[in-house]
Copies of this chain bind each other. A is one copy, B any other.
Amino acid sequence: MQLKQLLPILSWLPGYDKSNLRGDLSAGLTVGVMLIPQGMAYAMIAGMPPIYGLYAATIPIILYSMLGTSRQLAVGPVAMISLLTAAGVGAMAEAGSENYISLVITLALMVGVIQLLLGVFRLGFMVNFLSHPVISGFTSAAAIVIGLSQLKHLLGINMPKGEHLHEILHGAWQHIGETKLLTLGIGVGAIVLIQVVKKWKKSFPGSLLAVAAGILLVWGLGLHEQGVKIVGKVPGGLPALGLPRLDWATIQSLLPIAMAISLVAFMESIAVAKAMQSRHRNYKLDANQELIALGAANIGGAFLQSFPVTGGFSRTAVNDQAGARTGLAGIFSAALVIVTLLFLTPLFEFLPNAVLAAVIMVAVYGLIDYKEARHLWHSNRSDFTLWLITFVATLFIGIEQGIGLGVILSLALVIFRTTRPHIAVLGRVPDSDFYRNVERFSNLIQRPDILIVRFDAQLYFANVNHFKDSIDNLVSQKGEALRAIVLNAESINNLDSSGVHALEEVIEQYRRMNIAVYFVSVKGPVRDAMAKAHLTDKIGGGNFFMSNQQAVDAFDQKNTGNTEAFADYALQTNV
């Protein structure tokens, strides 16, 4: 049982249902065929030689298949993580150099270790702090940066490296006169081909067709002798086993980007894994085990020359559509890549870079989420603002800074909202016992001697002053006739010690003015906090009620009958 939790493969492989084999095999091979051009293209984004994209599509996939809890997730190189890798390591070494390659492999190890630790310490919930607008704004901007960074290969020009939009556009503008028309023609042709194939049949690997056509064209017509840049000699064979470089200075300088990649990679992977799980519902997804599986994939990969990987959107969708039922599909994909590495690498010598650029541009174009931006503009301005700030910061300040700023601002907004919460004065709906906000419903009945107030937030240190000031203002608006304040606490979800102090002050202040204070619909956790701080005794058990109407009735009966009966039930608690 314990072992099955650590190695989920043990829960599905021993009793493997042979009827799943057809689906797993066809899905695994389809994804494997996609992996070859995508892997090489994403290696290029990461600043690595293309062959490393194939290395990253071997052992990490196999490890995830054994440890992961998703049965459709396709792990491997993805565009966003490759871009983050290039952005982080690009500042420390020349892309493609030996030093650069060894730094990237160390980065993969660090990402793996961080993810493994997050999983072991059950910190998977941290991914929840990436809000939808932040993810969408960040992804859209990163897609634009990734796509435009490929102009270099699409136009066949020399562009200075840059990860900011203005640098990239400036670089492209300065060198646009050097555009090689033949290269551009091949690239545009590949884009058109992929798009047409996609229109015709969604599951067909158009990018592989474009790769094959590009290779044949260059090889057949000798276009590489006319200035078309090609991938060149690709070393054959499996990646060599090696120890990643580990020294303290390297680890320290890579740590910020490793943390960013760990979280972003997990976020992307868990989002798509959840989408798949909710389609199938025949297995459980465990976020912390997913972290452990991705961590193991990156750690294992780092010892076999892989760069950081994660579960990606597009290949997972294809994997699912093509019939993947278990992790065996992933093992078939990896097997296909291994066969390619062993026997087929000579084929890729004549592959034009412009075709890989086309593969990337088509893939990332779909990630630019202008629909979400438009939707937020109409439905939620503050979330739209978050989207826009994250988007603009990612484009012009930097990839990690964009996502960091987005997360901090979205959390600050959550805090800020609760500092000046919505406060409603309630009135009675005619001919009923319902009470509603007098500013939203017409014809509600209010009494001059009773003020019924609902405070719509937890009552805690950052809003106690606002709470007291608001009550004071409402009381002074109410005038001399006021004899009772009914505090409807149904939406006060928590009460800290500052909140207890504030309630004490309010009660003492108004009792001195001969105004009673009643409490309605106080929630369990808040009742507990009141009881522990002895506030319940100060308020008096008879001043708690289950509904606004009970409190009003009790006020009316105060001099005539006993109201304890109402209150007792409201206060009862078995904690």
Chain A residues packing against B (C-beta within 8 Å)? 125, 128-134, 278, 375-376, 378-380, 382-383, 410-411, 414-415, 417-422, 424, 429, 434, 437, 439-442, 456-458, 460-466, 490-494, 496-498, 500-501, 505, 509, 521, 523-525, 529, 532-534, 546-547, 569, 572-575
Q: Is the CB of B498 within 8 A of A125?
A: no
Q: Is the CB of A524 within 8 A of B128?
A: no
Q: Is the CB of B465 within 8 A of A128?
A: yes
CB-contact partner of A525 in B434, B456, B521, under 8 A: B456
CB-contact partner of A130 in B278, B376, B461, under 8 A: B461
Q: Is the CB of A461 within 8 A of B524?
A: no
Q: Is the CB of B460 within 8 A of A414?
A: yes
Chain B proximity of A425: nearest CB distance (Å):
12
Which 9 A-B pairs rank lowest in CB-CB distance, beginning with the nearest?
A: A131-B461, A379-B533, A383-B497, A132-B498, A456-B493, A379-B532, A491-B491, A128-B462, A380-B497
CB-contact partner of A418 in B414, B456, B532, B575, under 8 A: B414
> Which residues of chain B come closer than 8 Å to A497, judged between CB atoms?
131-133, 375-376, 379-380, 383
Q: A129–B129 Cα gap in the complex (Å)?
A: 21
CB-contact partner of A523 in B134, B491, B494, under 8 A: B491
CB-contact partner of A574 in B442, B500, B575, under 8 A: B442
CB-contact partner of A441 in B424, B457, B572, under 8 A: B572
> Which residues of chain B come closer than 8 Å to A462, judged between CB atoms?
128-129, 131, 411, 414
CB-contact partner of A383 in B133, B496, B509, under 8 A: B496
Chain B proximity of A371: nearest CB distance (Å):
13
Most central of A378, A490, A492, A573 by chain B CB within 10 Å? A490
Could you give 5 example pairs across A and B, Cβ below 8 Å?
A129-B462, A132-B501, A278-B505, A380-B533, A414-B460
> Which residues of chain B come closer than 8 Å to A569, judged between CB atoms?
429, 441
Known: A417-B494, A440-B575. A422 touches B525 (CB 8 A): yes
> Which residues of chain B come closer than 8 Å to A414, judged between CB atoms?
415, 418, 458, 460, 462
Q: Is the CB of A128 within 8 A of B419?
A: yes
Q: Is the CB of A380 within 8 A of B529?
A: yes
Q: Is the CB of A434 within 8 A of B547?
A: yes
Q: How many copies does the complex hold?
A: 2
Q: A533–B383 Cα gap in the complex (Å)?
A: 12
Chain B proximity of A380: nearest CB distance (Å):
5
> Which residues of chain B come closer than 8 Å to A421, judged between CB atoms?
493
Q: A308–B205 Cα gap in the complex (Å)?
A: 71
Closest to A530 in B: B379
> Which residues of chain B come closer than 8 Å to A133, judged between CB atoms?
497-498
Closest to A128 in B: B462
Chain B proximity of A516: nearest CB distance (Å):
19
Chain B proximity of A119: nearest CB distance (Å):
16
Q: Is the CB of A440 within 8 A of B524?
A: yes
Q: A460–B133 Cα gap in the complex (Å)?
A: 11
> Which residues of chain B come closer than 8 Å to A492, judged between CB atoms?
491
13 additional A-B residue pairs with CB within 8 Å, beyond A132-B498, A380-B500, A380-B529 = A130-B461, A131-B461, A379-B497, A380-B532, A414-B415, A417-B494, A439-B524, A440-B524, A441-B574, A456-B525, A490-B491, A491-B492, A493-B493
Q: Is the CB of A410 within 8 A of B379?
A: no
Q: Is the CB of B125 within 8 A of A419?
A: yes
Q: A424–B573 Cα gap in the complex (Å)?
A: 14
Closest to A413 in B: B496
Q: Is the CB of B411 within 8 A of A415?
A: yes
Q: A132–B442 Cα gap in the complex (Å)?
A: 40
Closest to A521 in B: B490
CB-contact partner of A131 in B383, B411, B498, B529, under 8 A: B498
Q: Is the CB of B440 within 8 A of A574?
A: yes
CB-contact partner of A129 in B375, B379, B410, B461, under 8 A: B461
Chain B proximity of A528: nearest CB distance (Å):
10
Q: A410–B458 Cα gap in the complex (Å)?
A: 14
> Which residues of chain B come closer than 8 Å to A573, judged between CB atoms?
440
> Which residues of chain B come closer than 8 Å to A465, judged between CB atoms?
125, 128
Q: A439–B527 Cα gap in the complex (Å)?
A: 14
Closest to A125 in B: B419
Known: A379-B500, A523-B422, A532-B380. A278 touches B494 (CB 8 A): no
Closest to A527 in B: B440
> Which residues of chain B come closer than 8 Å to A493, judged between CB atoms?
421-422, 456-457, 491, 493
> Which residues of chain B come closer than 8 Å to A420, judged between CB atoms?
125
Q: Is the CB of A131 within 8 A of B460?
A: yes
> Which residues of chain B come closer than 8 Å to A490, judged between CB atoms?
490-491, 521
Q: A26–B472 Cα gap in the complex (Å)?
A: 32
Q: A359–B244 Cα gap in the complex (Å)?
A: 63
Known: A434-B546, A440-B524, A532-B380. A496 touches B460 (CB 8 A): no
> Which residues of chain B come closer than 8 Å to A505, judged between CB atoms?
278
> Which residues of chain B come closer than 8 Å to A134, judged between CB atoms?
461
Q: Is the CB of A380 within 8 A of B496?
A: yes
CB-contact partner of A461 in B410, B456, B466, B529, under 8 A: B410
Q: Is the CB of B131 within 8 A of A496?
A: yes
Chain B proximity of A438: nearest CB distance (Å):
11
Q: A421–B493 Cα gap in the complex (Å)?
A: 9
Chain B proximity of A482: nearest CB distance (Å):
16
Q: A132–B463 Cα gap in the complex (Å)?
A: 12
Q: A441–B523 Cα gap in the complex (Å)?
A: 12
